[in-house]
């Protein structure tokens, strides 16, 4: 009998890709999403990719009554919690919304899980909990901090989960610290689909490539990096999704919690990304150099060895795969 898993935020960018990988791995998956950052038709596209109906509830993880209904109608054995607000800049404008959705939302889910006898949770965290790391590559033992309310909420959730797991060994949590997710599904049916002007590099470049945005501003070319532009650890969203399957399997097979980086261990600069995307799109991408963005650091990339040792996870896709899959997705979306 396939194990049933609840994906909160399962219609979103990483959630939808994780849905596909979980179904491929033989799980029976239920989605809860309020569609605040996802288009409703993603569900239809997930049905095309998986060739099967998608069980999806529309609503908010803060709605305890709806959560109780889901846990009554389905024997949920584990949850993967994506539902959260995730824009760094916006978090500084509406910190209370971020704390309510991201922290109270986690507590709401955990309360219902406890009532339903479900004690396995994979949590979507972020390398943002490393603040401005002073050692590279970044390991899981690096000092934790935050530089914005979004990062605060991720760290508060991580530490809440650690306290809960320490209080009762019935619980086991997989805390996954994403570096920089990028790319799209190989079918070009799902991908990053931001509602407004993207903050992140790849979705911004993608909109320049389709002509929806005029040019990319490169935030700083005077960093102490190989070409002066910011270096990050981009990881293909399908690799990231696979990491969630391996985390879930580990939780279901053992009673052990884990906290791991999900990255490739390789850093690429903004100009590296522009070059790779230009190759994928087949035309030049207008860009200009602009002042540094407040809060940015020169270079961040992961030490991915703990995820390999604990979960058997290693990223398999590279920057060209990320750019080609992103280009296929955005150019298809623009033409449909």
Close Cβ partners of 123 (under 8 Å, ≥ 6 residues apart): 81, 106, 157, 158, 161, 173, 174, 175, 176
Please select the residue that binds ligand WQD; options are 34, 101, 128, 264, rule is CB under 6 A.
128
Interface with ligand WQD, residue 270, by CB under 6 A? yes
Stretch of residues binding ligand WQD (CB under 6 A), selected from 109-117, 135-143, 161-169, 212-220: 212-220
Our CB check for ligand WQD shows the closer of 71 and 98 to be 98
* Cα–Cα separations (whole angstroms), residue 313 to 15, 19, 245: 18, 18, 10
Least distance to ligand WQD, CB of residue 198, Å: 7
Interface with ligand WQD, residue 218, by CB under 6 A? yes
Are 284 and 215 spatial neighbours (Cβ–Cβ below 8 Å)? no
Least distance to ligand WQD, CB of residue 100, Å: 18
Please select the residue that binds ligand WQD; options are 24, 111, 293, 334, rule is CB under 6 A.
293
Measure CA 48 to chain center.
22
69: β partners: none
Rg (CA), the chain: 19
Catalytic residue (choose from 150, 178, 234, 277): 150
Please select the residue that binds ligand WQD; options are 102, 119, 126, 264, rule is CB under 6 A.
126
Strands of 52-131, DSSP E: 55-58, 76-81, 120-126
Site for ligand WQD in 173-192 (CB under 6 A): 178, 180
Interface with ligand WQD, residue 201, by CB under 6 A? yes
C-alpha–C-alpha distance, residues 276 and 278, integer Å: 5
* Cα–Cα separations (whole angstroms), residue 248 to 6, 78, 174: 12, 8, 7
Are 74 and 30 spatial neighbours (Cβ–Cβ below 8 Å)? yes
Stretch of residues binding ligand WQD (CB under 6 A), selected from 42-50, 91-99, 198-206, 316-324: 198-206
Our CB check for ligand WQD shows the closer of 121 and 235 to be 235
234 part of the active site: no
Exposed/middle/buried for 318, CB within 10 Å: 0-12, 13-18, 19+? middle
H-run or E-run covering 275: helix 270-281
* Cα–Cα separations (whole angstroms), residue 93 to 45, 89, 97, 297: 34, 7, 9, 21
Site for ligand WQD in 7-46 (CB under 6 A): none
Sequence length of the chain is 336
Stretch of residues binding ligand WQD (CB under 6 A), selected from 23-31, 51-59, 94-102, 214-222: 214-222
Least distance to ligand WQD, CB of residue 74, Å: 29
Interface with ligand WQD, residue 248, by CB under 6 A? no
Q: Catalytic positions, please?
A: 150
Give the residues lining the site for ligand WQD (CB under 6 A). Answer: 86, 88, 126, 128, 178, 180, 199-201, 204, 216-219, 230, 232, 270, 293, 296
């Amino acid at each position: 009998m396939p194990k049933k898993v609840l994906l909160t935020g399962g219609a979103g960018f990483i959630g939808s890709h994780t849905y596909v990988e979980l179904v491929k791995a033989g799980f029976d998956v239920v989605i809860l999403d309020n569609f605040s950052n996802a288009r409703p038709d993603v569900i239809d596209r997930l049905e095309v990719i998986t060739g099967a109906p998608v069980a999806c509830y529309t609503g908010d993880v803060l709605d305890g009554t709806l959560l109780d209904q889901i846990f009554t109608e389905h024997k949920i054995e584990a949850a993967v919690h994506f539902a959260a607000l995730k824009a760094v800049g916006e978090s500084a404008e509406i910190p209370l919304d971020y704390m309510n959705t991201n922290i109270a939302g986690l507590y709401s889910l955990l309360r219902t899980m406890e009532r339903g006898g479900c004690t396995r949770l994979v949590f979507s965290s972020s390398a943002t909990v490393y603040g401005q790391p002073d050692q590279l590559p970044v390991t899981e033992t690096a000092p934790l901090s935050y530089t914005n309310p979004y990062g605060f909420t991720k760290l508060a959730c991580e530490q809440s989960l650690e306290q809960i797991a320490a209080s009762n060994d019935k619980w086991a949590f997989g805390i996954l610290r994403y570096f920089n997710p990028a790319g799209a599904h190989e079918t070009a049916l799902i991908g990053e689909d931001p509602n407004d002007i993207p903050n992140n590099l790849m979705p911004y470049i993608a909109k320049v490539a389709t002509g929806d945005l005029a040019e990319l501003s490169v935030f700083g070319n005077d960093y102490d990096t190989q070409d002066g532009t910011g270096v990050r650890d981009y990881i293909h969203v399908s690799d990231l999704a696979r990491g969630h399957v391996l985390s879930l399997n580990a939780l279901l097979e053992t009673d052990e919690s884990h906290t791991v980086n999900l990255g490739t261990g390789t850093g690429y600069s903004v100009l590296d990304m522009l070059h790779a995307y230009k190759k994928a799109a087949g035309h030049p991408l207008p860009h200009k150099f602009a002042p540094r963005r407040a809060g940015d650091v020169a270079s961040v990339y992961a030490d991915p060895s703990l995820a390999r040792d604990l979960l058997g996870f290693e990223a398999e896709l590279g920057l060209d795969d990320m750019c080609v899959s992103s280009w296929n997705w955005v150019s298809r979306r623009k033409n449909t």
